[in-house]
A and B are shown apart, each in its own frame.
Chain A
Amino acid sequence: MARALEEFTNEPPLDFAREEARSAMAGALAEMRARLPLLAGPIIAGKRLEMAGETEIRSPSDLNLLVGRCAMGGAAEANQAIGAAEQAFPTWSRAPAPERTSIFLRAADELRRRRLEFAALEVFECAKPWREADADVCEAIDFIHYYAREALRLSEPRPMQPQIPGERNDLSWHPLGVTAVIGPWNFPLAIPVGMMSAAALAGNTVVWKPAEQSPLVVALMMELLERAGLPAGVVNLLPGRGEDAGQTLLDSPRVRMVAFTGSKEVGLHILRACAGVPVGQPFVKRTVIEMGGKNAMIVDASADLDAALIDILASAFGYSGQKCSALSRLIAHEEIYDPLVERLREGAASLKIAPAWEPGCQLGPLIDAAARAKTEGYIGQGRAAERSIYVGEAGELAARGHFVAPAIFDGLPVEHPVVQEEIFGPVLVVLRARSFEEALAIANDTPYGLTGGVHSRTPAHLELARERFECGNLYLNRGTTGAIVGRQPFGGTKLSGIGAKTGGPEYLQQFMISRATSENLMRHGYAPIKGEVV
């Protein structure tokens, strides 16, 4: 049953320079389009719930395209899902770790086989451009593989040091219980799969709530897991809204842990909700919370501007800035400020705005009308301050989907909302610094601390950034997005999140209880004595 695992390697992205890859993706998009609209709804204890009233999922690139319909669970379905997870817990948690991992690895194999299908659905449902959609599926595969290895590693008790004759001390890891996993829509497969697989591989059972905007790709994955042999009730799919389904999970005394990735507002709400101990809850809920960012990149006087520009454009405007890792505050040294800003303006103006399924799409639409209204509001505020470097126009596309063209502002006071608040859209603020030290101070002047970037060829400045840049992921002389499982564990500090980094060696323990066991090995004065006695 257990299979020997080769060393972890990342799933390679598709090489779209190859004709085979391009035509395969185009084919997958055509096939998926023909399958639309997909249908989804809660799957609890292996059963699809019959429910009235479905929510329509329309493609953000073109609101005329109905991607699917999804039945949204409410409080009743949430409680039902919790019950199913609770029931599955004893068997699943006691199953040997190799048994659990082999099911998930089968699922990863299958996902690899069907990666284009999943990527295609992301293109329609979440408006991920080709490369981004493909990378998201790769990351989901990576998470499963990475956490599977971690689960096996943690399944063996670890002897504690120093070892003393006559006693045995070890640390072992055990599942917690029912875990609620609440995912975001911006990495619609990778992040929900990452949290869910970590929870389940650790031996927990899961209520899996995808974001309201992206339940379809998660539902497709749920079916894949079932086919891979995941026992009923181990993972229960609960599409639903935060206010009812989500809140029920937070309030339930039977939910042992909540893993969440999303906005700061919801994250902090979850933390407050989980701090309470309702009657009949004999534990404090554990939480792993990943929130947003207002990420800065410093471009030093000694930077390679060619490289910096390419990284700025990709980090600020990739997936229209809808990444918690996205760059939103560019801090430029005054020596290179003017040439950098000039080239940046032209670069932003040259980005191709298009529906996500077009191969040339560099900037797709935002996820929904609310995101668009919010972003346009901030752009309006920036414009009101008359500090725009560039504000683009989405043209006629704006009538078809939730398109917002990029905007770049400078000279705003640091306390301005556009400088301080997470926008989650294609809006970049440029700030001027007279020295590298001042740039670092500006970079740290934010309540967030997720990613940070530095473009500099001054070794002392890079060293200073390593020491003082208050962020969870520091990127030196490269873009600030696209963390890779294993190589670049990901997660923030300050108001960007609590908990260990995803895709890193400390992540899986969060879903487990550690138990230190000490056994007295002496019997009537005798115990084996290992090693040399001096």
Chain B
Amino acid sequence: MQAGHPRRHPELSETAIERRTQEIGRRIFELRRRQRAGLRALTRERLDEAAMERVMDDEELRYRLLRFVDVYPALRGADQIANHFEQYLGGRDGGGSLAAMLARLAYVVGGTHLLSRYPLAWASRLAIQSVASRFIAGRTPEAVAPQLAGMIREGFLFSIDLLGEKVVSEREADAFAARYLAMIENLGTRLEPPLGPAARLAGPVVNISIKLSSLAARFDPLDREGTAAAVLGRVVPLLEAARAAGAFVNVDMEHYELRDLTLDLIRRLLAVETLRGWDGLGMVTQSYLRDAAPALESMLAWLRAHDQPLTVRLVKGAYWDSELIWARQRGWPVPVWTLKRDSDAAFEHLSRRLLEERALVRPAFASHNVRSLAHALALAEGLEAAPDRFELQVLYGMAGPLARTLTGLGHPVRIYVPCGEPIAGMAYLVRRILENTSNESFLRQSSRIEDEAQLLRSPRNPNQATRHEKLV
């Protein structure tokens, strides 16, 4: 970046960045407190938090609750729901149990005592639908469009994600491609241009996130060429359509086993004649991966060599539990950091690298962790990155007050909006609940007495040896 300018910017010293991180962090906390105070005590958001609170300290209950949520969409009728509720969560009474929570919820909302099975089924349906609708915006892009328009009016950007069944056949891959294409072609017609800080970003309004594994019957890292042929056959026309329609497409990252294959496919895509030079494509870097930095560096080198722009969404990563379990099952090295502070520190290192390379890539910092965001913002200041050269991202339903705080501070904020049928959405929903009920969760932090200094502490501080838990 600064070749030919060996002068080190004074604001870039570790101490200066750390000082600014603390200042920005405290400011975010303060503004967010005001945002939260505006929420009335019994809004849905608050009610869900109370429910989450009860679940988080009881590992066994949490596990049973997740399994009940997981099976819920497969259940038909009140009998089946009541029956499964009883099997997963029955007999676990007491003040903190979910049964009591659901009972109270049913009482508060419906004025019903849970004397028979049917109100119980009804109560759990209500509770799950409420949690699901908090994290999943709607069933179809069409149904979600009014909400997207609302977000834009509020000054936010969005990226829409299609939740769907696992693809096991060519026909299903075709169907997924058709759904993506419909979004690319139709969504723009329903939306107005963005306002506020979001308007500064020159990028397209329509922004969709896709999973390459949904575009092939076999998405197998063993068969690079076969997989590439199948995926490129479907994704190239999609991206060509996006380029023509002025839409942005982000390639989401999934499990570690698919990471290198996904990066390889992105490189192949960018080398396609009709896509070369296009700046409407994005990728994801997951900081919880131990080898996130070298993987990013080799991508940066490739982009530099090919003079190719790309957006890079920096996240911590959402598959921590599965990565750990699969690695243990196969006897492979665990690919993720097992201490949370290592993932956080990697996030900060990668933030710096992305901002340093902002002539090449457009960074998108996706986190709900105030420290991580404050650090990225402090770095952006120190590096004098123009506010339109990077963006912040949050998940739908997870960080309303934080998102409003960040736009209030003048930063473009993009909301990642999942939509899909309830069955397909359960895997996503379970991941969100896992995060929200973990010790490290943002919601937990926000629902307890805040120790801001603690939350803003540098991840390089050796006293921060918390077990990893889930990441936000």
The yes or no verdict on A and B being binding partners is: yes
User: Which A residues have a C-beta under 8 Å from some C-beta of B?
Assistant: 9-13, 15-19, 22, 130-131, 301-307, 309-310, 313, 335-336, 343, 346-347, 349-350, 352, 359-360, 362, 457-460
Q: Provided the pairs A131-B222, A346-B171, A359-B226 are in contact, do residues A458 and B166 lie with their beta carbons within 8 angstroms?
A: no
Q: Provided the pairs A22-B224, A362-B218, A457-B70 are in contact, do residues A302 and B84 lie with their beta carbons within 8 angstroms?
A: yes
- The interface bits of chain B over 64-90 (1 if a CB of A lies within 8 angstroms of the residue's CB, else 0) are 000100110011100010011001100
CB-CB nearest in chain A for B71: A457
Q: In whole angstroms, how far apart are the Cα atoms of A336 and B71 in the complex?
A: 14
- Chain B positions 192-227 with a Cβ under 8 Å from a chain A Cβ: 217-218, 220-227
B74: which of A130, A304, A309, A313 is its contact (CB, 8 Å)?
A304
Q: In whole angstroms, how far apart are the Cα atoms of A162 and B258 in the complex?
A: 57
Q: Is B165 an interface residue (CB 8 A)?
A: yes
Q: Is B93 an interface residue (CB 8 A)?
A: no
Q: Provided the pairs A13-B330, A360-B218 are in contact, do residues A346 and B87 lie with their beta carbons within 8 angstroms?
A: no
Q: In whole angstroms, how far apart are the Cα atoms of A17 and B335 in the complex?
A: 13
Which one of B168, B226, B259 has the greatest number of beta carbons of chain A within 10 Å?
B168
Contact in complex: B222, A352 (CB < 8 Å):
no
The smallest beta-carbon distance between B302 and chain A, in angstroms, is: 15
Residues in B neighbouring A347, C-beta threshold 8 A: 168-169, 217
The smallest beta-carbon distance between B27 and chain A, in angstroms, is: 43
Query: 10 A-B pairs, CB-CB below 8 angstroms?
Result: A16-B221, A17-B222, A302-B71, A304-B70, A309-B168, A350-B169, A350-B170, A457-B70, A458-B84, A460-B87
Q: In whole angstroms, how far apart are the Cα atoms of A177 and B19 in the complex?
A: 78
- The interface bits of chain B over 316-332 (1 if a CB of A lies within 8 angstroms of the residue's CB, else 0) are 00000000000000111
Contact in complex: B330, A12 (CB < 8 Å):
yes
Q: In whole angstroms, how far apart are the Cα atoms of A347 and B169 in the complex?
A: 4
Number of B residues with CB within 8 Å of any CB on chain A: 37
Q: Is B257 an interface residue (CB 8 A)?
A: yes
Contact in complex: A19, B260 (CB < 8 Å):
yes
CB-CB nearest in chain B for A354: B226
Q: Is B261 an interface residue (CB 8 A)?
A: yes
- Chain B positions 329-348 with a Cβ under 8 Å from a chain A Cβ: 330-332
- The interface bits of chain B over 248-284 (1 if a CB of A lies within 8 angstroms of the residue's CB, else 0) are 0000000011111100000000000000000000000
Residues in B neighbouring A302, C-beta threshold 8 A: 71, 74-75, 80, 84
Contact in complex: A17, B166 (CB < 8 Å):
no
Known contacts A16-B221, A352-B226; 13 additional CB pairs below 8 A are A9-B331, A10-B331, A17-B261, A131-B222, A302-B71, A306-B165, A313-B168, A343-B169, A346-B168, A347-B168, A350-B169, A350-B171, A359-B226
Residues in A neighbouring B171, C-beta threshold 8 A: 346, 350
List the 7 closest A-B pairs by CB distance, nearest first. Answer: A12-B331, A346-B169, A360-B226, A457-B71, A350-B217, A17-B221, A360-B223
Q: Is B172 an interface residue (CB 8 A)?
A: yes
A15: which of B168, B227, B261, B332 is its contact (CB, 8 Å)?
B332
Q: In whole angstroms, how far apart are the Cα atoms of A262 and B391 in the complex?
A: 62
Q: In whole angstroms, how far apart are the Cα atoms of A347 and B172 in the complex?
A: 9
The smallest beta-carbon distance between B298 and chain A, in angstroms, is: 12
Q: Provided the pairs A303-B74, A346-B171, A359-B224 are in contact, do residues A11 and B331 lie with their beta carbons within 8 angstroms?
A: yes
Residues in B neighbouring A459, C-beta threshold 8 A: 87-88
A343: which of B172, B223, B256 is its contact (CB, 8 Å)?
B172
The smallest beta-carbon distance between B230 and chain A, in angstroms, is: 9
Q: Provided the pairs A17-B221, A347-B169 are in contact, do residues A12 and B332 lie with their beta carbons within 8 angstroms?
A: yes
The smallest beta-carbon distance between A123 and chain B, in angstroms, is: 13
User: Which B residues have a C-beta under 8 Å from some C-beta of A?
Assistant: 67, 70-71, 74-76, 80, 83-84, 87-88, 165-166, 168-172, 217-218, 220-227, 256-261, 330-332
Q: In whole angstroms, how far apart are the Cα atoms of A313 and B167 in the complex?
A: 13
Q: In whole angstroms, how far apart are the Cα atoms of A13 and B330 in the complex?
A: 7
CB-CB nearest in chain B for A306: B166
Q: In whole angstroms, how far apart are the Cα atoms of A460 and B257 in the complex?
A: 34
Residues in B neighbouring A304, C-beta threshold 8 A: 70-71, 74
Q: In whole angstroms, how far apart are the Cα atoms of A15 and B87 in the complex?
A: 39
Residues in A neighbouring B83, C-beta threshold 8 A: 458
A301: which of B76, B257, B260, B331 is its contact (CB, 8 Å)?
B76
Q: In whole angstroms, how far apart are the Cα atoms of A259 and B221 in the complex?
A: 39
Q: Provided the pairs A13-B330, A17-B258, A460-B87 are in contact, do residues A130 and B70 lie with their beta carbons within 8 angstroms?
A: no
Contact in complex: B70, A310 (CB < 8 Å):
no
Residues in B neighbouring A305, C-beta threshold 8 A: 74, 165
The smallest beta-carbon distance between A338 and chain B, in angstroms, is: 14
Contact in complex: A310, B170 (CB < 8 Å):
no
Q: In whole angstroms, how far apart are the Cα atoms of A22 and B257 in the complex?
A: 13
The smallest beta-carbon distance between B241 and chain A, in angstroms, is: 24
CB-CB nearest in chain A for B229: A360
Q: In whole angstroms, how far apart are the Cα atoms of A414 and B76 in the complex?
A: 29
A346: which of B170, B226, B330 is its contact (CB, 8 Å)?
B170
The smallest beta-carbon distance between B277 and chain A, in angstroms, is: 28
Q: In whole angstroms, how far apart are the Cα atoms of A350 and B218 in the complex?
A: 8
Which one of B165, B223, B330, B332 has the greatest number of beta carbons of chain A within 10 Å?
B223
Q: In whole angstroms, how far apart are the Cα atoms of A18 and B295 in the complex?
A: 13
The smallest beta-carbon distance between A281 and chain B, in angstroms, is: 45
Residues in A neighbouring B225, C-beta threshold 8 A: 359-360
Q: In whole angstroms, how far apart are the Cα atoms of A310 and B88 in the complex?
A: 25
Q: In whole angstroms, how far apart are the Cα atoms of A360 and B295 in the complex?
A: 25
Residues in B neighbouring A307, C-beta threshold 8 A: 166
Contact in complex: B220, A360 (CB < 8 Å):
yes
Contact in complex: A343, B331 (CB < 8 Å):
no
Residues in B neighbouring A460, C-beta threshold 8 A: 87
CB-CB nearest in chain B for A22: B222
Contact in complex: B166, A309 (CB < 8 Å):
yes
The smallest beta-carbon distance between B23 and chain A, in angstroms, is: 43
The smallest beta-carbon distance between B465 and chain A, in angstroms, is: 27
Contact in complex: B76, A335 (CB < 8 Å):
yes
Residues in B neighbouring A336, C-beta threshold 8 A: 74
The smallest beta-carbon distance between B331 and chain A, in angstroms, is: 3
The smallest beta-carbon distance between B416 and chain A, in angstroms, is: 22
Q: In whole angstroms, how far apart are the Cα atoms of A263 and B331 in the complex?
A: 32
Contact in complex: A17, B260 (CB < 8 Å):
yes
The smallest beta-carbon distance between A145 and chain B, in angstroms, is: 13
